[in-house]
Each structure stands twice: as structure tokens, then as C-alpha cells.
Amino acid sequence: MSSTAPHITPEIVAEHGLSPEEYDRVLKAIGREPNLTELGIFSVMWSEHCSYKSSKIHLMKLPTTGPQVICGPGENAGVVDIGDGQAAIFKMESHNHPSYIEPYQGAATGVGGILRDVFTMGARPVANMNALRFGRPDHPKMRHLISGVVRGIGGYGNCVGVPTVGGEVNFHPAYDGNILVNAMTVGIADTDKIFYSAASGVGNSIVYVGSKTGRDGIHGATMASADFGDDADAKRPTVQVGDPFTEKLLIEACLELMASDAIVAIQDMGAAGLTSSSVEMASKGGVGLLLNMDAVPQRETGMTAYEMMLSESQERMLMVLKPGREAFAEAIFHKWELDFAVIGEVTDTGRMVLVHHGETVCDIPLAPLADDAPLYDRPSMPVDDYKAWSGVQPLGDIPESTDIGADLITLMGSPDIASRRWIWEQYDHMVGADTVQRPGGDAAVVRVHGSSKGIAISTDCTPRYCYADPYEGGKQAIAECYRNLSAVGAKPLAVTNCLNFANPQRPEIMAQLTGCLDGMGDACRALDFPIVSGNVSLYNESKATGGGSAILPTPAIGGIGLLADVDVMATVAFKNEGDAIWLIGGPEGALGTHLGQSIWLREIAGREAGEAPKVDLAAERANADMIRTLVASGSVNAVHDIADGGLIVTIAEMALAGKIGAQLDDTLSTAAAFGEDQGRYVVTASPGIDIPGAIRIGTTGGSTVAGVPLTDLRAAHEGFFPKLMDSEL
């Protein structure tokens, strides 16, 4: 064992993000003082980002099984059956802290990381999505952050050749000092060619492939497990740097090797790099490992074992190969001009042993790193106390709008509703030629190559609801995703998530986390919509904005659904003049009632007040079933779920997409026009088609909505982002 390492002081322990109590656990686990390399390994594996120590006990309550589920949480990504011997493999991840520090590389490497999670399991990635949250549009840093993030997502995804087909964007002052960048990837694989990460076979080679290891990203996982101080920019060296062209080569090389029988186990090097990948492979397989650090491909001179183990350099994978298959695998990776190195072997010791320059620099038991990481049941504020703490004011009496049309124009140009065209036109959303529903609808749809099947994909969350009522907000996030998939005609299959919250050591933040998870769990059970993968991102708050601001609770939901035939698919655009406009769902006898926490209330009345809307899960399921039946039968020719902005915004979006106006049968009240009651859809049908249980509310035609010309609505809707970003690109 190396004797040259410095003595571990309390200051060094604190710098590694471990509490004194956690360090005591380290001492008990290994029976002695660790050296610096060993401490670093415990530090990253016991970080919030890798261990989920503040959330795991609550995550275990979520529903994760179903007849469609092949593999639930615990692997690199979730796997669901889509029939015909095929599976969809998908996951969502966060890259929040890096994207605030260095937006282009932070967002780009977030895309690269989630791509690796998916193709690691044997899937060819077919679609990327994202869920982005920014602060005030007029914040001095925000244009720079928006520009960098969007260019990073597009730059990486476009180069790799995987279409970015949709996503969501929200703005709120709570994200001023801590933006959120959540990336999702969906891939397709044969069900008999899915790869897992558990290492096995004593004596089998452990192989490193991909790019060389550098000093970028060291302590990235630890940095992502702490809130931002005033020195956020000084953390730039912890941000990884990505190379999408290498990623493309890595995808092709891995898929080529996967077509053989050479691989025993495979794991990407994501957060905590070589440490987490090796520990996870060994612990899942119940084996040990011996690594020769001299054999690790390095792009910088004089790297220590500590640096190599904690580096988060991108485009790297770790494999266990069957005996005698090393030369075969090496030839494939060299053909694709990638590094290949045998860096160790599987052992039966249950320990991680690292040798560097002929000296043992690490010798620790594996079980404590993965299985015995600290788990905390942190104090959570009771619901009534949280309600008082949140400061959400009662809605009170709301005066009627003096001009529905003027309010509509304002909302169509507001940050949360304005067209995202400026964003998605920077993404290649058509590469691969299988995108059949482009950005701008309720859900993206990508054809399963060579078939008539389609995968529908949606990302959803309404953070203002989650803040006002975490339980209802959690329910709503799942329900809205379920609605969006159903709106295109797809049968919802399963969910991934990215749980973005602030400091879990604050009881009010734990109340948000547990409340949202309870709501999500109840919704998933009621809708048969299990959660099969996900990510937790905590400590999303910043002192850089002058007050320790926490983000809004943001449990971003990514859902997929299955379309049996992409030719039988709904879109939001009005199709013909003279079609009947119908409302499905909502409060009986009313077009809309709920203005609490609505976009109208915030943007027009200047208030964030009232209760979040209630979600009736039985009604959500029944209405979604009805929508899918109507789409499958061809009874409706346009469908759009009602979300931000309420009924009139939904109709305006359908009118703009179809370039056809709408004539409503009745004058709308403020609540009817802008209420955000849940579980509702607007559909259109040819004259003479009756839709039982629906309310006919108008007819398509003309060139206005609510008396406002489509030209004015389009100018407002399309103008926000180009005006905001004019000087950035």
C-alpha cells in the first residue's frame, strides 16, 4: 500500500463532500485510514449523485413493474417490450450544474452521457428529447445560458446523427442561478440482444474502450451533489468536454461487438467515471476486480490513480469479455480508431484492488461502496406546515378579463407558451428519416425503422403546480405525459424521470420531494404507467443570486407510448374549414373553472396564487382511452390536450398549426378561456360525426380566434425567442 499519500485531515474529508459521520463509516468499512485515492473513491460513490442517499428509500415506493416491462430501475436504462421481438430502451438524466457553469459543454456532454446509457444496453439510439428550465428571460446571464445550452444539445446530437425530436422549456426566477438541463434518449433493440452490467467469470478480462482519460470532470459527481456558492465559475474544471464524432464511432463499434458473443458485461463511464463503472459492474456481479492503472489510456502525462479513477472524461466504456475474445474485440475498436486496452481482470475477492507503477494504491471492499452507502430518511415538513411555509396565497376573487383577445395575444407571446421554433430549428430532428411527428405537437413520434410501428415520446412537468401542492403536482406531471402520448393515438407504456430538487437537508425541500413522489406513484399505479428508469438531481440552489434561492420542485417526466401504425396518428393542426370543435373532459357543465396557479393569473394578473388544479386519475384514464379510440377509428382529425393557458390557448395553437381560424359558439368567461382544469382535450371532427360525452364548442374556419387575427397571434407566438436571442446567434 502506498505510504506517500498525505494524512487524511478533517479538511480533506470535508473537501470530498463527506460528513464526519460518513467518514467514520469509511473507517469502519475498511478497518483503517484510507489513502487519498481510496477516500476519493468513497467520496464519489457515496455522493448524492451516485448513491441517491437522500431519495432511495422513497424511490423504492414507486411502481416499476408491468407486463410490458423487461427491465426496470437499476440498470443503465429502462427496457419495455414493443412487440415483434423488439424493445424500447430509454432514460432521462440531468446535467444541471455543469450546464450553468459552462452551458455548451455541460449540455453537450449531458446528451452524450444519456446516449451511452442507452446504447450500452445494446440499443441503437433513435431519438433525443430534452427538458430545460431557465430563469428570467431578462436576467443578465440568461441569453448566454440559453444560447449555450441549445447550441450544445444541437451540436452534439446533430453530429452523432440522432434526431432531437422535442422537449419542453420553462422560465421562472427560481432558476436564475441554477438552470436545469435534462436529456432523454430512446433506443430500439432486439429483446434477445439486451446487454447488462453485472460482471462475472473470475479471470475474465476487464477492457477499457473509447477515448483516452484526461483530467477533465474530476469531482464532477461531487460538484453535482452540492449547491452553488458565489464561486460557481471557479468550478469550470469539473465540467467534462465532449466529442460527438468519437461518440458516433463508439456507438458503431459497440453495436458491432454486441452482434457477437464476446461481451459478458458492459457499462458506460458516466458520473464518477472509471470508479462508478467498475464498482457497479463488480458489485452487481458479486465479484472483485484488479485494475492495472498503468494500462489505462491517458491523454495527459503524470496522471495519478486518483485522477484516473475520478476523471469524467467522455466517450469511454468498460467491458468484461469472454476468455480469448480480446483480440477479436480489439480489432473492431481499432478499426473504428478507438482506444482499446485490457486494464484488469475479474477476481473472487470482493475487493477493488488498484496497482499503479508496481505499487498497490487501493485495496478496499466493494460491498460498502455500492450496497452499504449511507441511506437517509431525512426530516420532511408536514403538509400543513409546508403549505404555510410556501407562502402561496389564496386565489380570492378574480375580476373578469376586460379583453379576452388581448389577453390571448399576451399569453401566446409569453415565455412559457411562445413557439419554441427558434430552439428546435437548431436541432436536426429529421436525421435518420424516421421522424414522423416533428417538434411542436403534443408528443414526438419516431417510426421503428423498417416497420409501421411508432414510438411516441413526451417530456412534461409543471413546476409551479409542484411548488403549490407537491402531491397534486406530482400526479399532474405523470397525467400530462399520459395525455400527450394519448393525444397522438399512442398507448402509454412507461416512464423515466429526472427528479430535480433543492437541498434535501431542508425539511421543506424533502416535503416537496416526498409529496411529488407520492403523487407520481399514485398516478402511475392508476394509469398502469410504471417508472422504469430515472435520475435524481438534488442541491439545485444557488447563493450566486444573493439569497440561497432554491429551484421550484421539478420532477421532469419522460414517457413513451406505442403506435401500432404511424399512418393512424393524430396531430394538433386543424385540417378543414367547417369541422366541428369538441371539448372532451373537464368539470361537468363548464368549459373551465380553475385559475389557481395558471399562466393567465401570472402573466395577466401578475400573481402566483391559489391551489394547483386537482387531478382526477379515473377521469384521466377514461378520457385518454376515449381519445385513443377516436384516433384509431378515424373519427377525429385533430387532437390537442389542454395545458398551459387553458382552452383558448389550445384552440389558438391548433389554429396556427393548421392556418385555419375558429368560431366559438359562446362568449368565454375568463375561467372558461384560461382555466387549467386537468384531463381535457380539444378535438375536431367532420360535420355529422357525433362524439358522445363531448361538448361541441365551435367550428373551424375564418382567420381569427376569439376575434384576434391569426396573423397577430402568429407574430406574438413566433416573436418571443427571436427577439430575446437576436444578439446571441
pLDDT for 463 beyond 70: yes
For the chain, how many structural domains are there in total?
1
Q: What does the mean pLDDT of the chain come to?
A: 93
- Report which secondary-structure segment, H or E, holds 390: helix 383-390
**Residue 38 forms part of a structural domain:** yes
356 as an active site residue: the answer is no
**Residue 416 forms part of a structural domain:** no
pLDDT for 102 beyond 80: yes
Segment among 42-46, 217-221, 580-584 with least mean pLDDT: 217-221
pLDDT for 2 beyond 70: no
Q: Which residues are annotated as a binding site for ATP?
A: 52, 91, 497, 534
Per-residue pLDDT at 228: 47
Residues 6+ apart with CB under 8 A from 622: none
Q: Which residues are annotated as a binding site for substrate?
A: 94-97, 116, 240, 312-314, 537
pLDDT in tens, 370-403: 878 899 999 999 999 999 999 999 999 999 999 9
pLDDT in tens, 639-659: 999 999 999 999 999 999 999
pLDDT for 226 beyond 60: no
pLDDT in tens, 471-493: 999 999 999 999 999 999 999 99
pLDDT for 512 beyond 60: yes
**Residue 33 forms part of a structural domain:** yes
Helices (H), 141-243: 142-160, 220-223
**Residue 27 forms part of a structural domain:** yes
What is the average per-residue pLDDT within 555-561?
98
The catalytically annotated residue of 49, 172, 219, 717 is 49
> Rounded to 5 degrees, what angle do the CA atoms 142, 215, 156 make?
45
pLDDT in tens, 105-119: 999 999 999 999 999
Q: Which residues are annotated as a binding site for Mg(2+)?
A: 93, 117, 268, 535
Question: Is the pLDDT higher at 171 or at 230?
Answer: 171
Per-residue pLDDT at 432: 80
pLDDT for 431 beyond 90: no
Q: Distance between CA 11 and CA 21 in Å, rounded? A: 14
Using CB atoms within 10 A of its CB, is residue 406 exposed (0-12), middle (13-18) or buried (19+)?
Answer: middle
pLDDT in tens, 401-421: 999 999 999 999 999 999 999
What is the average per-residue pLDDT within 280-307?
95
pLDDT for 616 beyond 60: yes
When pLDDT is cut at 50, 70 and 90, the band that residue 696 belongs to is very high
* Cβ(348)–Cβ(288) below 8 Å: yes
49 as an active site residue: the answer is yes
HSE-CB for 475 with a 13 A CA cutoff: 21
**Residue 436 forms part of a structural domain:** no
pLDDT for 236 beyond 60: no
Backbone angles phi, psi at 343, to 5 degrees: -115, 5
pLDDT for 61 beyond 60: yes
Per-residue pLDDT at 192: 96
Segment among 10-24, 164-178, 238-252, 279-293 with least mean pLDDT: 238-252
* Cβ(677)–Cβ(613) below 8 Å: yes
Q: Which residues are annotated as a binding site?
A: 52, 91, 93-97, 116-117, 240, 268, 312-314, 497, 534-535, 537
Share of the chain above pLDDT 70, in %: 95
**Residue 147 forms part of a structural domain:** no
The catalytically annotated residue of 16, 95, 172, 219 is 95
The model carries a pTM of 0.95
When pLDDT is cut at 50, 70 and 90, the band that residue 6 belongs to is low
When pLDDT is cut at 50, 70 and 90, the band that residue 71 belongs to is very high
**Residue 17 forms part of a structural domain:** yes
Per-residue pLDDT at 265: 96
pLDDT for 557 beyond 80: yes
pLDDT for 571 beyond 50: yes
Structural domain range at position 24: 10-44
> Rounded to 5 degrees, what angle do the CA atoms 707, 709, 712 make?
125
Residues 6+ apart with CB under 8 A from 416: 169, 170, 171, 599, 644
Using the CB atoms, write b or e for 226-253: b if 16+ within 10 Å: bbbeeebeebeebbbebbbebbbbbbbb
pLDDT for 229 beyond 70: no
Share of the chain above pLDDT 90, in %: 88
Nearest to 59 by CA among 509, 552, 466, 499: 499
What is the average per-residue pLDDT within 617-643?
98
**Residue 182 forms part of a structural domain:** no
Beta strand segments in 274-395, E: 288-292, 316-321, 339-347, 351-356, 359-365
